[in-house]
């Protein structure tokens, strides 16, 4: 039996995939409401294909509990929050989960940490925690790091088809765990050391952050001389060894905008490129504000409440708003005492900011400038509705001509 700890965005789909492949799984979370809801057959977040997967896993006997189970294999997918001020990772939930596992586990149990951890976390926090309790790592208990790589919006497909990494001190035990994951993962699974696993995860997200920063810098250069950045990137990407990503209103989410800071925090003298990329991406909401100001001036619109931000999520077709560019932009406006801009997102069903509309038509009726912040399908299907307004399209999704770009 596998006990999966933490039933959030990563833990739950992973638990369901194992259960679907016929393995006995118990999912544990300390949030009793969440566990009750899952026991009642109700999902706690939306994700493509999750509903069917949930049904299949239920019929395969997946169970949910607030209790840690006595068993041999644990997967830890608890949050690893990022401390905004210090730019460091807070390992408190991982440490507490490791301790709770130690309280109940069988001798020789394997603890696989899937949560993103900054490079060195296993050596710095997790090993000492285990040793302090008198356990010998490698005998009483094994520790592994198998970072997740799935992308919200395409999680189920990616769980099955993305290559995985397993970082371990002991390749023999690592290979057994590789066998376990291959029950649902059809792609290659690499067994490596823990430090490389920790580092490669953060490096993957940093690579993407730098690539997006490059695209964003190109957008700014293109703006000053009226060039079409999308056409330039599209053309450059025809080269077989060039693959530039897309500019946008900023980088959000809990991963790409966060992980590079771990490297900057630990190697401040060696991370010029990484830090610069972070700064460029963080500067994009300000760039969008400058574009809004340009459009307001051009059309002699003086009232900020005539501006509507479409999209609060950090990217298309998800309801996740963590570190979203729209929230970053609103924060910046707040700093400048500029209040009253209107906001709408069809995926965000709770009111989380001021002047947030729950109805698209009401939102549209109140504004003269629409700022497309996220490329939800909803807006792609509503082009007719928006095209009579002044539109600032930061995601390059609008299909009509008279549109302002980044």
Q: Would you tell me which residues interact with ligand SAJ (CB under 6 A)?
A: 116, 148-152, 204-205, 208, 212, 245-246, 248, 251-253, 255-256, 314-315, 325
Report angle CA 285, 291, 292 to the nearest 5 degrees.
Answer: 90
Tell me if residue 255 is catalytic. yes
Between 11 and 152, name the residue whose CB sits nearer to ligand SAJ: 152
Between 150 and 288, name the residue whose CB sits nearer to ligand SAJ: 150
Instruction: Provide the minimum distance between the beta carbon of 398 and ligand SAJ in the complex, in angstroms, as a whole number.
Output: 16
Q: Is 372 helix (H, G, I), strand (E, B) or coil?
A: strand
Instruction: Provide the minimum distance between the beta carbon of 256 and ligand SAJ in the complex, in angstroms, as a whole number.
Output: 4
**Which residue, among 124, 136, 125, has the nearest Cα to 170 in the 3D structure?**
136
Nearest-angstrom CA–CA distance, 227 and 405 = 11
Instruction: Provide the minimum distance between the beta carbon of 261 and ligand SAJ in the complex, in angstroms, as a whole number.
Output: 13
Catalytic residue chosen out of the listed positions 201, 306, 395, 405: 201
Q: Is 13 helix (H, G, I), strand (E, B) or coil?
A: helix
Between 82 and 344, name the residue whose CB sits nearer to ligand SAJ: 82
Tell me if residue 20 is catalytic. no
Instruction: Provide the minimum distance between the beta carbon of 395 and ligand SAJ in the complex, in angstroms, as a whole number.
Output: 8
Between 24 and 378, name the residue whose CB sits nearer to ligand SAJ: 378
Burial of 345 (0-12, 13-18, 19+ CB in 10 A): buried
Q: Kindly give, in sequence order, each residue whose CB lies less than 8 Å from that of residue 130, ignoring residues fewer than 6 positions away.
A: 98, 102, 137, 141, 143
264-270, long-range: CB within 8 Å, 24+ apart, which pairs? Answer: 264/87, 265/86, 265/87, 265/88, 265/118, 266/118, 266/119, 266/120
Catalytic residue chosen out of the listed positions 105, 178, 185, 255: 255
- Residues serving a catalytic function are 201, 255
């Amino acid at each position: 039996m596998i006990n999966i700890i933490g039933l959030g965005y990563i833990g739950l789909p992973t638990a369901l995939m194992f259960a679907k492949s016929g393995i006995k799984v118990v999912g544990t979370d300390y949030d009793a409401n969440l566990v009750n809801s899952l026991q009642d057959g109700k999902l706690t977040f939306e994700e493509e294909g999750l509903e069917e997967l949930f049904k299949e896993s239920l019929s395969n006997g997946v169970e949910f509990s607030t209790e840690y189970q006595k068993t041999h294999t644990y997967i830890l997918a608890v949050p690893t929050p990022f401390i905004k001020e210090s730019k460091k990772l807070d390992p408190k939930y991982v440490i507490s989960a490791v301790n709770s596992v130690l309280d109940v586990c069988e001798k020789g149990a394997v603890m696989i940490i899937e949560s993103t951890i900054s490079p060195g976390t296993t050596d710095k926090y997790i090993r000492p925690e285990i040793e302090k309790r008198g356990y010998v790592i490698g005998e009483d208990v094994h520790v592994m790091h198998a970072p997740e790589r799935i992308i919200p919006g395409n999680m189920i497909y990616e769980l099955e088809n993305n290559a995985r990494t397993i970082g371990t001190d002991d390749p023999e035990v690592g290979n057994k765990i590789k066998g376990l994951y291959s029950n649902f993962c059809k792609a290659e699974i690499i067994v490596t050391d823990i430090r490389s696993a920790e580092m490669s995860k953060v490096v993957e997200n940093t690579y993407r952050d730098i690539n997006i920063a490059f695209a964003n810098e190109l957008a700014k250069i293109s703006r000053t001389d009226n060039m079409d950045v999308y056409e330039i990137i599209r053309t450059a990407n025809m080269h077989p060894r060039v693959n530039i990503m897309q500019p946008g209103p900023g980088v959000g989410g809990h991963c790409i905008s966060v992980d590079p800071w771990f490297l900057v925090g630990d190697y401040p003298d060696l991370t010029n490129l990484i830090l610069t990329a972070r700064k460029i991406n963080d500067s994009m909401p300000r760039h969008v504000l400058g574009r809004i100001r340009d459009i307001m001036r051009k059309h002699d619109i003086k009232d900020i409440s005539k501006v509507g931000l479409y999209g609060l999520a950090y990217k298309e077709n998800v309801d996740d708003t963590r570190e979203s560019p729209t929230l970053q932009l609103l924060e910046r406006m707040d700093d400048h005492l500029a209040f009253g801009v209107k906001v709408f997102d069809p995926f965000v069903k709770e009111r989380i900011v001021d002047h947030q509309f729950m109805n698209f038509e009401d939102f549209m009726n109140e504004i003269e400038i629409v700022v497309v912040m996220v490329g939800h399908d909803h807006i792609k299907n509503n082009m007719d509705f928006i095209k009579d307004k002044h539109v600032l399209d930061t995601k390059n999704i609008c299909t009509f001509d008279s549109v302002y770009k980044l």
